[in-house]
Structure 1
Amino acid sequence: MANFQQFFYQLVREIFTVSTTLFKVLIPAIICVKILEELGLVYYIGLAISPLMQWVGLPESMGLVWATTIFTNIYAGLIILANTPLDTPLTIAQASILGTMMLLAHALPVEAAIARKAGISLWITLLVRVGGGLLLGILLNVLYSSGDYFATPAHSLLHFEVSTDTSLVGWAKDQIVGLFIILAVISVLLFTLKILRILRIEKLIAIALRPFLKVLGISQQATSLTLIGITLGLSFGGGLLINEAQNGKIAARDVFTSIMLLNLLHSLIEDTLLILMIGADFYTIFWGRLIFAVSVIFIMTRLLDLLSEENRQRFFYRSVVKNSPG
């Protein structure tokens, strides 16, 4: 009984902490989007990004969803998605493409700062994450379109009916409903994560990923920390890698490879569960993301071998060892 009470107490505390932190970002984002709508700027933002959305087979309005995700986080992108009217529901293929792009490129102001602190050049982080998200979206669109795969409507758990009241009060009520739905999603997600940790699913994933890390040439010293980032998040793994790198325990080249992999592949459990909420295909957002991330970093490391160490540190990464002249 005591263990159950402790489990419940920790769960409630986590839900409160995550929700409070998240809503501090979400609420200003919702208000900003409303202001943009009232000023008519949403139309122009969508117009500017629409060519990119056409490349990946998504409605123009999804440009704002992805842009919101890139600058804030996946949760904010989801609530913008829930508030975006669509003539026809997204298909499973479209939900999978959008979800994959959100997984690869999100929260860049925060996560790019972590990578930069680890000595990684900002331009390569942005190129890999935004460019990688767009590239994978294009590849998936070509694949799905070639055989008309997953053309049935996606079943989104975030869908809710918006009232016909177009007043400011009506809009506010809709947003409150949306925030409660997000809170429910967070609660279910955190509960599921705790169960998965009890069942040691994270350790099983880490064991399965070790061969991939070996292929990428990531050293034994960096492997454990990279696996932490893959399962728990870039902030966790990246923070540990930065600490070890500053103490000179991990070479700058290993830090670069590990952080670049974490840029494309982190929070493998939590983020995957979150994107499944919009009706995306599991195999696409899990295995597709995994294979793409490993392939991109494998090619990148092989190309890096063609450069001298001086040029690598000039354009791609630098040493962050404390008191190091680099």
Structure 2
Amino acid sequence: MRIQQLGTTNRFFLTDGGLETYMIFDKGYELPCFSAAVLLDTAQGCADLTAYFERFIGIARRSGRGFILDAPTWRAGAAWAGPLGQTLKEVMETNARAVAFVTALRTEHETPELPILINGLVGPAGDAYATDATLSRQDALLIHAPQIHALGRAGVDMISAMTLTHAEEAIGIVQAAKEIDLPVVIAFTLETDGRLPSGQPLEAAIAEVDAATDAGALYYMINCAHPDHFAALLDPNALWTQRIGGLRSNASRMSHAELDNAEVLDDGDPVELGALSAALAERLPNIRVIGGCCGTDHRHLGCIAGHDPARSAA
């Protein structure tokens, strides 16, 4: 299985940055419901997606790393069909088209030295910055299973559920992925105090999901938070931190409320973010993937790629 490549190297894979913020603030798109999947509907949108991903693939190639290539499906789940003006069938077809799009990019760029994994993105059913749509695990399973099964049929190597706000939704997502034996990553978003928007500590959320799913997630990721918001909480000697396998940090130190109301993109300091990400990779024993989230682009990932704890320790 391709997914095994994540465990055969002590050098983390790269992924991309903040796709939606880049397309809105740098390319001038209006993305309904913050959905990058709508870019697949036009030739120009596809061209801009191609250019975006190829820039990151080039960084991975030059740094000698593998790459996690995301299908732009974060806001293409069943819960978003109505807000996007689509039927459930249409939004599932969007998922299939998204996977076909990134799979074609992999076919063009993958080499033995540049392994590429196709990752289907799953987003929360509600607001990624608040718990306005808290779900039970049963409801989460029902809501997310159609998209997860569609991504599996389309041929993804794995899925990542990003910017989750509470543990119950994560449990339903893991259960849906386990139904079809699809590797699943759970990425929680954190507030400036290092807790989930639900108020739960990250350690407790990971423990709850693992207990309910027999440790069914491949690993956990932190995304959509600046390293300063959570770095102090991560004890490298604690057992729970060994379950953290990915980081996709924000460039900005702003809170989610501040980011939500911002009219100008805060892209932070790419060099600083690269150094902070590298420091976390050195502290955390099982980091497999590092990328960016809101406000990050090729500059930030270039700085992250420039740091290599594995090589410096060799």
**TM-score normalised to the size of structure 2?**
0.26
Larger strand proportion of the pair: 2
Which structure's CA Rg is the greater one? Answer: 1
Larger helix proportion of the pair: 1
**TM-score normalised to the size of structure 1?**
0.25
